[in-house]
């Protein structure tokens, strides 16, 4: 059972002493509000701060421009954590207790409503507090701090993992803001795959036998190859129909689509040449993931033939499923018990009441859930989560932290 040591007490006091500076840093990231793969200002802010703290920083790690890998120390054990800092598209918001997109931006610009701004800043505070305690008490070890962009599309961690950045670590810890305060025990995140399907009209002249056309001077009125817009429309609707047959309605699997390019039609009766649609799907197993892809690939192949197009696939990401580690869970939650649950000041409660008022709700004396202000034992959280899942399901939802779990013991809280 973890106990309060001088080293831990020093780290906690160090965080309290520097709380204002971390709050200010969080506000910077929150205000940048950069979406996936566009977090240039956010990544630079982290890199500059970590260098100032003595970390060796590799910017653009894994050939990802907004990723980084920071290292401090030269001996074992090697302990790692990470920041995420991509904002959620369509969630622009001012710091007010009512819905109000930020001034000067498109109303559907990105915003930190998840919020990864707090995720990264909290992980940073923990890493720098650990460094301060290690220096103060002469503790050996190495700290790794990764910048992980594009979590909303599970983008960076599979790349860092594939290129060896997690190799040699002894343990990882993850943090994500949540309305409960616990450490995850058994039901880890499942798998997330995403791919872009492209349709190109490369040989429209072969669609119809020109000898059948009575005159060569009716190009504006002649039947033409359906082309890329028809392809993407058919891909969309065909996938909606076949979604019913991809997998039974169990296992909390999901499939979502995003139209990236809608074609380039002209007024000269020419076929649209290019269109793209991206699919992202999550499920509790790699087998289900492959089954969903098989249907998508078959749909694309047949749609391409129907519209005179060529279909191609570009993978965006593939994650595995998470592995659990009870020793890490117990150790993490034991230390959470030493610290205690969150404590909200009166100004936070007042802000929450004003949110309730803006939603047409009667303000409550305590606007926060009981779970917000207490620690929930991992077994209790697991039991609550399992009530909504079938017995056979071992994983739930998705997050690319799962790639950390295949390289070293890891816990999430």
pLDDT for the residue numbered 265: 63
Spatial distance between the Cα atoms of 167 and 162, rounded to a whole number of angstroms: 10
Tell me the Ramachandran region of residue 380: left when phi exceeds 0, alpha when psi lies from -120 to 50, beta otherwise: alpha
Residue 301 has pLDDT above 70, yes or no: yes
Q: Is residue 212 part of a domain?
A: yes
Q: Is residue 127 part of a domain?
A: yes
Q: Are residues 156 and 260 in the same domain?
A: no
Does residue 406 form part of some domain?
yes
Residue 212: pLDDT band with limits 50, 70, 90: confident
Same-domain status, 338 and 394: yes
Domain boundary among 295, 318, 341: 318
Q: Does residue 285 sit in the same domain as residue 297?
A: yes
User: What is the number of other CB atoms lying within 10 angstroms of the CB of residue 115?
Assistant: 22
How confident is the model at residue 267, as a pLDDT?
A: 61
Query: Are residues 155 and 23 part of one domain?
Result: yes
Please name which of 197, 181, 298, 200 lies closest in space to residue 246, comparing C-alpha atoms.
Answer: 298
Inside any domain, residue 61: yes
Are the CB atoms for 137 and 364 separated by under 8 Å?
Answer: no
Task: Determine the structural domain holding residue 71 and report its residue range.
Answer: 6-188+321-412
Instruction: Determine the Cα–Cα distance for residues 48 and 56; give it in Å rounded to an integer.
Output: 11
pLDDT tens readout for residues 188-210: 999 999 999 999 999 888 888 77
* DSSP line for 297-356: HHHHHHHHHHHT-EEEEEEEEE---PPP-HHHHHHHHHHHHHH-S----HHHHHHHHHHH
Task: List, in sequence order, every residue forming a beta bridge with 304; answer none if it has no partner.
Answer: none
Q: Do 239 and 165 share a structural domain?
A: no
CATH number of domain containing 238: 3.30.70.360
Is the per-residue pLDDT at 387 higher than 70? yes
Cα 81 from Cα 351, distance rounded (Å) = 31
What is the pLDDT averaged over residues 230-236? 96
Quick: pLDDT tens for 15-27: 999 999 999 999 9
Measure the CA–CA gap between 175 and 223, rounded to whole angstroms.
58
CATH number, domain with residue 347: 3.40.630.10
Structurally, how many domains does the chain consist of? 2
Q: Given the DSSP bridges, would you call strands 142-147 and 68-72 parallel, antiparallel or unpaired?
A: antiparallel
Is residue 1 included in any domain, yes or no? no
Instruction: Name the band, by pLDDT with cuts 50, 70 and 90, for residue 218.
Output: low
Structural domain ending residue among the three candidates 273, 299, 318: 318
> What is residue 1's predicted lDDT score, i.e. its pLDDT?
78
Clarify whether residues 184 and 326 are in a common domain: yes
Residue 223 has pLDDT above 80, yes or no: no
183 and 328 part of one domain: yes
pLDDT at 222 over 70: no
pLDDT at 132: 98
pLDDT on residue 53: 98
Q: Pick from 90, 84, 321, 105: which is nearest to 193 by CA?
A: 321
- pTM score, whole prediction: 0.93
Q: How confident is the model at residue 233 (pLDDT cuts 50, 70, 90)?
A: very high
Query: Is pLDDT at 242 greater than 90 in this prediction?
Result: yes
Domain closes at, from 260, 294, 318 = 318
pLDDT band at 9 (very low <50, low <70, confident <90, very high): very high
Write the pLDDT tens digit of every residue in 156-188: 999 999 999 999 999 999 999 999 999 999 999
Whether residue 80 sits in one domain with residue 101: yes
3-state secondary structure (DSSP) of residue 198: strand
Q: Please, what is the average pLDDT of the chain?
A: 94
Least confident of 134-148, 210-224, 231-245, 330-344: 210-224
35-85 pLDDT per residue, tens: 999 999 999 999 999 999 999 999 999 999 999 999 999 999 999 999 999
Residue 263 has pLDDT above 80, yes or no: no
Residues 133, 166 within the same domain? yes
| pLDDT > 70: percent of the chain | 96
Q: Does 264 score more than 90 pLDDT?
A: no
Q: Is residue 115 included in any domain, yes or no?
A: yes
């Amino acid at each position: 059972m973890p106990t309060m040591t001088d080293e831990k007490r020093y780290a906690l006091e160090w965080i309290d002493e520097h709380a204002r500076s971390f709050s200010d840093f969080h506000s910077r990231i929150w205000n940048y509000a950069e979406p996936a793969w566009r977090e240039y200002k956010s990544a630079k802010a982290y890199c500059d701060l970590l260098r100032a703290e003595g970390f060796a920083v590799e910017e653009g790690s894994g050939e990802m421009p907004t990723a980084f890998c920071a290292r401090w120390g030269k001996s074992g054990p090697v302990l790692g954590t990470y920041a995420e800092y991509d904002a959620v598209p369509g969630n622009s918001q001012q710091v007010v207790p009512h819905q109000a997109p930020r001034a000067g931006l498109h109303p559907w610009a990105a915003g930190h409503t998840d919020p990864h701004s707090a995720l990264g800043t909290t992980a940073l505070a923990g890493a720098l507090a650990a460094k301060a305690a290690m220096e103060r008490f002469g503790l050996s070890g190495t700290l790794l701090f990764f910048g992980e962009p594009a979590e909303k599309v599970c983008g960076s961690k599979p790349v860092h993992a594939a290129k060896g950045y997690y190799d040699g670590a002894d343990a990882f810890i993850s943090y994500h803001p949540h309305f409960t305060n616990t450490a995850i025990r058994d039901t880890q995140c499942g798998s997330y795959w995403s791919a872009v399907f492209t349709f190109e009209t490369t040989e429209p002249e072969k669609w119809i036998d020109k000898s059948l056309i009575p005159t060569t001077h009716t190009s504006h009125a002649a039947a033409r190859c359906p082309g890329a817009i028809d392809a993407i429309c058919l891909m969309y609707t065909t996938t909606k129909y076949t979604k019913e047959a991809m997998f039974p309605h169990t296992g909390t699997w999901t499939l979502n689509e995003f139209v990236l390019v809608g074609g380039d039609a002209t007024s000269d009766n020419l076929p649209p040449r290019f269109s793209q649609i991206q699919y992202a799907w999550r499920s509790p197993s790699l087998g289900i993931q492959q089954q969903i892809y098989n249907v998508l690939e078959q749909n694309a192949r047949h749609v391409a033939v129907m519209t005179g197009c060529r279909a191609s696939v570009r993978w965006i990401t593939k994650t595995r499923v998470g592995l659990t580690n009870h020793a890490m869970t117990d150790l993490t939650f034991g230390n959470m018990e030493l610290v205690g649950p969150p404590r909200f000041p009166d100004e936070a409660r007042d802000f929450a009441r004003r949110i309730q008022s803006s939603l047409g709700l009667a303000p409550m004396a305590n606007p926060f859930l009981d779970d917000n202000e207490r620690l929930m034992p991992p077994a209790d959280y697991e039991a609550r989560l399992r009530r909504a899942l079938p017995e056979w399901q071992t994983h739930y939802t998705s997050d690319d932290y799962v790639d950390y779990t295949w390289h070293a013991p890891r816990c999430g809280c």
